[in-house]
Amino acid sequence: MARRSTAPHLPAVEIIVLAGGLSTRMGRNKAQLRLGGLSLLARVRAAARATGWPVRTVHRDIGPRRGPLGGVATAFHRSRAKRLVFLPCDLPFISAGWIRRVGQGRARAVFTQTTVGAGFPFALGRECAPVVNQQLATGKFSLQQLARQLKAKRLRLPARRAVELLNLNTPEDWHRAQACTALPSTA
């Protein structure tokens, strides 16, 4: 008779929402800004939950002032999932469909291709954690460098859905987002 495992089920994919930044360019905490009745963090978490995958929010990194890469390392430290999908708290129009597309890839590293290079959302297999830690140890906090080092696959969002990648970093970005009248669904 086969023995039953008593180990808890580990998720294959977990979504990590990064909400620990300093918001210096915005001048106030971006995660708490409200758009369409919800905070930016709540909007991103809702899209993430709509994928059906577990969602975790990282509010505080294990080491200060390391940018998004610090949040990535923190997530690998806290999660036991085989694959992590990373989202910032300031992508209020991101859809569950695009999050799923990025997370379902078979490549060990998949990044969204933006106008400036590799960006959010992106997915990393657990085997990428040592590369993240090595970059942090050498003071290299660049996501662009991480994507290059991992030889990441790049996915391009269709131009008609570009609003999904509207990242809110400055008051000008915030005003642009408030002017968006047709908010995409999370499907």
Candidates 46, 27, 26; CA nearest to 36 is 46
pLDDT band at 95 (very low <50, low <70, confident <90, very high): very high
Is 70 exceeded by the pLDDT of residue 129?
yes
DSSP 117-184: EEEEEEEEEGGGHHHHHHHHHTT---HHHHHHHTT-EEEE--GGGGGGG----SHHHHHHHHH--SPP
Q: What is the mean pLDDT of residues 37-43?
A: 85
Is 6 inside any structural domain? no
Is 8 inside any structural domain? no
Is 26 inside any structural domain? yes
Instruction: Assign residue 168 the CATH number of its domain.
Output: 3.90.550.10
The number of residues making up the chain comes to 187
Is 185 inside any structural domain? no
**111 or 61: which leads in pLDDT:** 111
Is 157 inside any structural domain? yes
Q: Per the structure, how many domains does the chain have?
A: 1
Measured CA to CA, the distance from residue 93 to residue 76 in angstroms comes to: 26
Is 2 inside any structural domain? no
Residue 96 pLDDT? 96
Does the reported pTM lie above 0.85?
no
Domain that holds residue 29: 13-177
